[in-house]
């Protein structure tokens, strides 16, 4: 049997030897370090493992399971470099808790375990981790991994300042778990998913005051997930914000700091209204939706009554300064006048504490003052470099020219590179649409994310979600989500070093040995460069911290 420690950026595919062995690493205090133990046995076998370490309480081991990809990447990119295609179109991604400390390994095929070390409660110094593998029947030792020596450096990683949102889809939780929206059990599931998101760097939460008009085919509806209860009266409306208050309290308890109010107009064209239900004469009815024009007098009147009460409630909850409002997602340039109408209507009710922001890639929207915080895609970010508070996002469209993304078929270094890029571009916020989108495109059908990973062969596998649903109502992380979280820790490490050395010195350190400037598309095309950079940053932090303490 062959056993070796390998880094977190090397993915293990069946018959392919994963390469060199990892024997030493460093991490900071209040940090998290990930690596893998790869296994290739001579026969099919179950193995039981034990953690041998002086810090075993800080070590978590998870099994890595592969899932299929029914759609890896768009055909016009198949000949590009920068992809890592699986021979059998299955990809190691599900990080399942190894509760019984058992792993199944196939004859002459590589598999791996995902090891995480949390230094939050550790003291600085050298520690070691090794896995001992046993026969599960006889409990006799079969093999053991080499020791990984891990040095915890006496430097505290600065808190995250990046605002990061990854859209949580409530209807997908309700469908998968067959649990009514906002039942007591649903709130338990929701809290678990929020906690997992926060553990991976998410600090902003999409808040469905009304059912978000996202990924919904025109004329169709998604399951109602409306936090604000509306009652229609002859002379107007009554609003009940109790569920919204519970949502805010739950999110804050989990560690969420920022709230994004779901879009008040439909996607792409600002043509219609979101689905809004209300109690009318004692019955629940849909009062607005695709059949209501965005500029209709009825909806304008509704918003003129609703928004003052909503903003007053948010002020009372103490979150006004951390709340952003969406107008419409990715409005096309030809709809700028519609967007202007919607923006003017909403902004007249927002005080100075609130901001508007949207994913859009046409600079004209920002130039004309229609949105305070534009969120351009990584492929369109260059035109927005002068924006005071620069945000960015990526989705299924960012796959050309080496752009960072988290598709199954992208090597992990391409996923993790976004941390360094966010630092170089001095980005303040990052958005992604798919935390747990378990539907097909346009939400025509529900899917099982363990079997269907590309939204019904429409978005490249890995675009629509980063967590998998556990049977107990919790979220199971993915390999891709862990790598993205490492990218955010890279960003924090760079920002921590900047505090000691200044931004220009840190930028020089990043570019040392390169004869070009790193952009969203151009950067070293290997994981070793990225891991070496992080090790170098850690070393500089240790030295500068020692110097500053003298």
pLDDT digits (tens, 9 = 90+) for 438-476: 999 999 999 999 999 999 999 999 999 999 999 999 999
**pLDDT for residue 247 is more than 70:** yes
Mean pLDDT of the chain: 96
10 and 50 fall within a common domain: yes
SS3 readout for 323-338: EEECCCCCCCHHHHHH
Average pLDDT over residues 60-89: 94
Q: Is position 535 within any domain?
A: no
Q: Is position 539 within any domain?
A: no
Write down the pLDDT at residue 399: 96
69 and 206 fall within a common domain: no
31 and 118 fall within a common domain: yes
Q: Is position 542 within any domain?
A: no
**Residue 378's CATH number:** 3.20.20
Average pLDDT over residues 148-177: 98
54 and 189 fall within a common domain: no
Q: Is position 437 within any domain?
A: yes
Average pLDDT over residues 416-430: 98
**Residue 120's CATH number:** 2.60.40.10
Domain limit, last residue, from 495, 518, 536: 495
**pLDDT for residue 549 is more than 70:** no
What domain range is 314 assigned to? Answer: 163-495
454 and 389 fall within a common domain: yes
Residue 360: how many other CB atoms lie within 10 Å = 27
31 and 169 fall within a common domain: no
CB 462 within 8 A of CB 480: yes
Average pLDDT over residues 18-46: 95
178 and 128 fall within a common domain: no
Is the C-alpha dihedral spanning 198, 200, 202, 205 positive or negative?
A: negative
93 and 169 fall within a common domain: no
Domain limit, last residue, from 479, 495, 511: 495
243 and 389 fall within a common domain: yes
Nearest to 185 by CA among 173, 171, 169, 172: 173
Q: Is position 537 within any domain?
A: no
Average pLDDT over residues 515-543: 97
Domain limit, last residue, from 121, 143, 158: 158
Q: Is position 167 within any domain?
A: yes
pLDDT, tens only, 99-139: 889 999 999 999 999 999 999 999 999 999 999 999 988 99
CB 292 within 8 A of CB 273: yes
Q: Is position 61 within any domain?
A: yes
311 and 394 fall within a common domain: yes
- Which residue carries 């363990």 as its tokens? 450
Write down the pLDDT at residue 396: 95
27 and 125 fall within a common domain: yes
Backbone φ and ψ for 438, nearest 5 degrees, come out as -105, 50
Write down the pLDDT at residue 550: 60
What's the total number of domains in the chain?
Answer: 2
Q: Is position 224 within any domain?
A: yes
154 and 168 fall within a common domain: no
């Amino acid at each position: 049997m062959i056993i070796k420690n390998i880094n977190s950026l090397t993915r293990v595919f069946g018959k392919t030897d994963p390469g060199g062995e990892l024997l030493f690493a460093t991490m900071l205090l209040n940090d998290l370090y990930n690596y893998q133990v790869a296994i290739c046995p001579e026969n099919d076998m179950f193995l039981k493992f034990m953690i041998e370490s002086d810090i075993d309480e800080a070590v978590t081991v998870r099994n890595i399971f592969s899932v299929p990809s029914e759609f890896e990447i768009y055909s016009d990119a198949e000949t590009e470099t920068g992809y890592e295609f699986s021979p059998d179109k299955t990809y190691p991604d599900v990080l399942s808790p190894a509760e019984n400390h058992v792993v199944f390994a196939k004859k002459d095929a590589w598999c791996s375990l995902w090891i995480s070390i949390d230094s939050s409660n550790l003291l600085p110094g050298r520690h070691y981790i090794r896995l001992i593998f046993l026969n599960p029947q006889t409990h006799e030792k079969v093999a053991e991994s080499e020791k990984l020596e891990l040095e915890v450096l006496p430097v505290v990683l600065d808190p995250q300042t990046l605002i990061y949102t990854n859209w949580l889809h409530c209807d997908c939780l309700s469908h998968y778990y067959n649990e009514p929206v906002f039942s007591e059990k649903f709130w338990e599931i929701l809290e678990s998913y929020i906690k997992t998101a926060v553990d991976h760097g998410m600090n902003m939460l999409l808040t469905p005051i009304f059912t978000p008009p996202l990924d919904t085919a025109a004329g169709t509806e998604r399951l109602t997930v409306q936090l604000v209860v509306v009652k229609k009266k002859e002379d107007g409306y009554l609003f009940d914000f109790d569920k919204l208050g519970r949502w805010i309290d739950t999110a804050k308890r989990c560690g969420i700091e920022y709230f994004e109010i779901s879009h008040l107009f439909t996607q792409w064209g600002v043509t219609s209204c979101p689905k809004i239900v209300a109690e009318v004469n004692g019955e629940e009815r849909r009062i607005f939706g695709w059949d209501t024009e965005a500029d209709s007098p009825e909806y304008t009147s509704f918003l003129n009554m609703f928004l003052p009460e909503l903003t007053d409630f948010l002020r009372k909850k103490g979150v006004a300064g951390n709340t952003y409002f969406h107008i419409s997602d990715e409005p096309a340039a030809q709809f700028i006048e519609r967007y202007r109408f919607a923006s003017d209507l909403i902004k007249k009710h927002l005080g100075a504490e609130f901001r508007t922001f949207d994913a859009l890639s046409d600079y004209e929207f920002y130039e004309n003052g229609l949105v305070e915080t534009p969120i351009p895609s990584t492929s369109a970010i260059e035109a927005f470099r002068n924006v005071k508070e620069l945000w960015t996002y990526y989705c299924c469209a960012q796959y050309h020219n080496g752009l960072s993304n988290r598709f199954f078929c992208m090597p992990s270094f391409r996923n993790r590179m976004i941390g360094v890029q966010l630092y170089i571009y001095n980005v303040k916020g990052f958005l992604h649409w798919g935390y747990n989108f378990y539907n097909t495109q346009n939400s025509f059908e529900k899917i099982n994310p363990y079997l269907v990973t590309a939204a019904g062969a429409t978005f490249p596998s890995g675009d629509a979600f980063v967590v998998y649903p556990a049977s107990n109502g919790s979220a199971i992380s993915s390999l891709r989500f862990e790598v993205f979280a490492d990218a955010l820790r890279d960003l924090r490490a760079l920002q921590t070093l900047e505090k000691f050395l200044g931004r220009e010195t840190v930028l020089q350190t990043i570019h040392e040995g390169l004869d070009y400037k790193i952009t969203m598309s151009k950067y070293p095309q290997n994981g070793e460069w990225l891991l070496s950079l992080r090790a170098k940053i850690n070393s500089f932090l240790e030295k500068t911290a020692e110097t500053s303490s003298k």
